[in-house]
């Protein structure tokens, strides 16, 4: 990996100890994943519920202490388990921010909108007078489409879309270079989703911010992302350009995810075939040997049970972890 990347993640692992009887078993939420994001780029991260997407985002920002791996941001190593590097994250909080999934629980109900958005400015001492603070807050509110008269209201007085805008304004307050958008639109109505996504794109054009965009909805991810990464049970299955992944998916899991995307044209929808996966998702505490997807995969062979395939480049940066595709 070269320094053209803003963020580089190598062999990231995040295990949580879970008590079972008298012993603790590691729940492997994220198990040895690597990827990189360029400045001003959007990497979409998709996969079904419980596959470890949110854990990846939180581990990158060190809201969870990673179990192992290496995280590099702007050429500076923030975490490296091998060389025992573990830097203080406070100076980097200005550069790396997060928009949380649930706008209902991520905003303090006792604080006014002005104080919620102004809190990062307080923490990092980014103003010299109260008037400057208020000016910055009102400017941020205008950026995300909120009115100045909303400043003295409380979070419960707003709709879901407006609350999410407050969360976005709070993330933008410190002028970050990288934002983790954790299911930032999944709790919103479809019409509001479109507004918020367009706003994310406008902010990226204006500010040059890079996103890790975590979501379930492949249509949304394809619309906003430059590249898409597909996760299953803590493992990275496929990474490719958004259009390439949409037009030429290689991994059996990606194929099944894309087949479930609703098609607006009834004629095309009638002739398209859903790939329905058999069986249940294995428990992350008792993972199958080899490839975690093999228990639900129609292409699975003995080799899949023996060994987890590595992400290999199949041309044009299209990375796939599969023995048979």
Give the integer Cα–Cα distance in Å for 322 and 95. Answer: 35
Output the DSSP codes for 151-208: TTSBGGGS-HHHHHHHHHHHHHTT--SEEEEESTTTTS-HHHHHHHHHHHHHHHHHH-
- Residue 3 has what pLDDT? 67
**Cβ proximity of 107 and 157 under 8 Å:** no
Closest CA to 320 of 235, 206, 220: 235
Cβ-contact 229, 215 below 8 angstroms:
no
Q: Residue 285: its pLDDT value, please?
A: 83
Q: What is the CATH code of the structural domain delimited by 7-95+176-320? A: 3.40.50.300
pLDDT at 1: 45
* Residue 229 CB neighbours (<10 A): 26
- 117 closest CA partner among 101, 137, 102, 100: 137
Q: Where are the domains of the chain?
A: 7-95+176-320, 106-175
pLDDT in tens, the chain (325 residues): 446 899 999 999 999 999 988 999 999 999 989 999 999 999 999 998 888 999 999 999 999 999 999 999 999 999 999 999 999 999 999 999 999 988 888 899 999 999 999 999 999 999 999 999 999 999 999 989 899 999 999 999 998 889 999 999 999 999 999 999 998 888 788 888 888 899 899 989 998 999 999 998 888 899 999 999 999 999 999 999 999 999 999 999 999 999 888 877 787 777 777 787 877 888 888 888 899 999 988 888 899 999 999 999 998 889 999 998 7
The pLDDT, as a whole number, for residue 196 is 86
Residues 6+ apart with CB under 8 A from 136: 118, 121, 126, 127, 173
Tell me the C-alpha distance between 189 and 6, whole Å: 32
């Amino acid at each position: 990996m070269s320094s053209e990347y803003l963020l580089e993640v190598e062999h990231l692992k995040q295990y949580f100890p879970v008590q079972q009887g008298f012993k603790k078993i590691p729940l492997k939420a994220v198990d040895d994943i690597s990827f990189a994001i360029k400045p001003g780029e959007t990497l979409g991260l998709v996969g079904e519920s419980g596959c470890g997407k949110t854990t990846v985002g939180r581990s990158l920002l060190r809201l969870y202490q990673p179990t192992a791996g290496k995280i590099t941001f702007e050429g500076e190593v923030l975490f490296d388990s091998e060389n025992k590097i573990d830097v203080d994250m406070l100076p980097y909080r200005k550069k790396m921010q997060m928009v949380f999934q649930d706008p209902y629980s991520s905003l303090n109900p006792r604080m006014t909108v002005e104080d919620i958005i102004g809190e990062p400015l307080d923490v990092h001492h980014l103003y010299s007078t109260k008037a400057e603070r208020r000016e910055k807050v009102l400017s941020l509110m205008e950026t995300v489409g909120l009115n100045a008269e909303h400043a003295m209201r409380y979070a419960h007085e707003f709709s879901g879309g407006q609350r999410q805008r407050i969360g976005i304004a709070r993330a933008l307050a410190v002028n970050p270079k990288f934002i983790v958008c954790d299911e930032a639109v999944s709790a919103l109505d479809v019409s509001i989703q479109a507004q918020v996504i367009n706003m994310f794109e406008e902010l990226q054009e204006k500010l040059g911010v890079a996103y890790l965009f975590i979501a379930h909805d492949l249509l949304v991810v394809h619309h906003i992302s430059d590249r898409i990464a597909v996760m299953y049970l803590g493992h990275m299955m496929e990474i490719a350009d958004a259009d390439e992944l949409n037009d030429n998916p290689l991994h059996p899991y990606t194929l099944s995810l894309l087949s479930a995307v609703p098609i607006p044209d009834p004629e095309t929808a009638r002739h398209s075939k859903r790939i329905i996966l058999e069986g249940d998702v294995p428990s992350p505490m008792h993972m199958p040997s080899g490839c975690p997807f093999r228990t639900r995969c129609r292409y699975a062979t003995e080799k899949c049970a023996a060994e987890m395939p590595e992400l290999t480049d199949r041309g044009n940066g299209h990375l796939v972890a599969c023995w048979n595709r």
